[in-house]
Each structure stands twice: as structure tokens, then as C-alpha cells.
Amino acid sequence: MAEDFSNKLVIAISSRALFDLDESHRVFQQDGLKAYSEYQIAHEEEPLQPGEAFPLVQKLLRLNTLLGDNVQVEVVLLSRNSADTGLRVFNSIQHYDLPISRAAFCGGESPWRYINAFGCQLFLSNEAEDVRYALNCGVAAATLVSNKGGNSSSDQLRFAFDGDAVVFSDEAERVYKTEGLEAFTASEQAAARTPLSGGPFKPFLAALHRLQQAFPATEAPIRTALVTARSAPAHERVIRTLRAWNIRIDESIFLGGLNKTEFLRAYQADVFFDDQETHCQLAGPHIATGHVPHGVANR
């Protein structure tokens, strides 16, 4: 009987995002696949160090203890490793007592084709090509480009999202890119009561909202923030769009082009998603950051 994923939050993650596989990857790049396989087998009893997404995964899985007996959050491992070389990855999962039981080890092939079969709503990877394929499959996906995992001392899981081309479509951003700020502002004012179309992260944000609904607003273990370069008067369309979608977002920060990094640090984001590589590069040294290669800025 097929499992019903409709009420679950399912996150897919690559082995290189979950664990620090830099040394292993260097062996692969310098000496090839055979040497890499031998290296992993020789070290398979040595736990891997946590990777940049490890704190996020820990917090995600911890939500199940708050949600009761009905497990509602699942993490699936999608890896280019073979099952043989992937044994070290599973040994490391067991070492850290992570309740991850489902995985696809694809023997050098891209694992993106299993994303929909597992019912995943988000895919995090270090492989930009895999992320683009996932986005083309209609799944929220990001390339982890930071060198730092989440460091919030709070048990609350804090997501931060850019707006255009991430939560929303890139329709407004296309106006800005082609016609400039003045035309963008005029266009957004004229369309203030017309909801924006959804971007690749709309379904994921909706799934987070459903989990939040299980708790009083002041006690929810998940918090969300929109951190956007927009400012008034281009704010109204965003607010009305979220209202039309019936999605609650806890904080909305309209920066008018200011650097987002200090605001993300003040918010204590566990992870931040943005389509602009420049914003990701600035935030990456401080916060786990995912580049969303979608929309006009990535063409």
C-alpha cells in the first residue's frame, strides 16, 4: 500500500550537505572513483563530521517529539554514492542517532529523479545541477553555498526566505531587471491588489504553515520570515498575496536594498533561501544559506 505523504513535511538532503565529505571529495577529485571507494570503505567505521545542514536536520527531526506519536517530519537521504561507499554515511547517521531510515544511493548518477517518488517538498544539496533538476520537477530546492551551519541556541526552527523568484514568481523582478526601479515601483503599485503567482518555495512555505497550525502562534516551534529588498510602496502586493494564499508568515522585513546579512543574524535564521548569488555570498559566512537558481537573475 502506498504511503500518504500529504500531511507530512518531507525534506531530501544530499550526503555532502548533511556531513562534511570535503576530504573524501578531494580523494575522488585527485585519484578517481576507485580510490574514493577504497577510502570510504577503509574509514567506514569513523563517523563523519557534521556538515552545514546538520544543525537544521537535527532541529527538523526534533519537531516530531513535539508533534506527538504521529511522525510528521521526515528526512530522506539522496546521494550520488553507491550503497557500498554509502555505508559510512549510514554509520554516521546511526552514530549521531538521527532517525533517518530512507535513502537512495545512486552510484554516481544524479538522485533528483527520486524526489517526487519520496514525496519531498524540499531538496538541499551541494550539487547545483541536481538542484536545477529538482526545481524543474516542481520541488523547492537550493544549493547550499555557505560555510557555516545554523548556530541558533534556540530550539525554535527559523526559516528566512527572499520573496521574488523564491516564495513568489519572478514576474515583478523581470520588470525591475528590464525596466528599472521606477518602472518596478509603478507596476507593483498598479497591481497592489492582484496576487503574485507562486514561486518554487510557495508549497514548502505552505507545508511549514500547516505544521505551525498545530500550535498556538506564540508556542510554534517553527518561525518564518520574509526578508526582501522591496520597500514601500512595493510592500502592499506582497502582504495581500500572502493573505490571498492564506499563509501566515511571522516576520516581514522590507529592506529597500540594504544588506540582508545583519538582519538575518538578528533574526537568528537557521537557514536562508535567496535567488541572488550576491546575497547568498554575503550571508553564507554567517548563516546556512541556500541559493535558489530560479528566475530571471539566474538566466
Element (H, E) at 75: strand 73-79
Which one of the listed residues 84, 97, 162, 274 is annotated catalytic?
162
162 is catalytic: yes
Element (H, E) at 208: helix 202-212
Beta bridge partners of 161: 226, 273
130 HSE (CA, 13 A, CB side):
27
CA distance 299 to 288: 24
Cell numbers placing 282: 554575503
**Who contacts 127 (Cβ-Cβ below 8 Å, separation ≥6)?**
14, 16, 80, 110, 143
Pairing of strands 140-144, 289-291: antiparallel
- The terminus-to-terminus CA distance of the chain in angstroms comes to 42
* Dist CA 16 CA 113 (whole Å): 18
Lookup: cell for 81: 554514492
Contact (Cβ atoms closer than 8 angstroms) between residue 184 and residue 234: yes
Backbone angles phi, psi at 65, to 5 degrees: -70, -25
Positions marked catalytic: 162
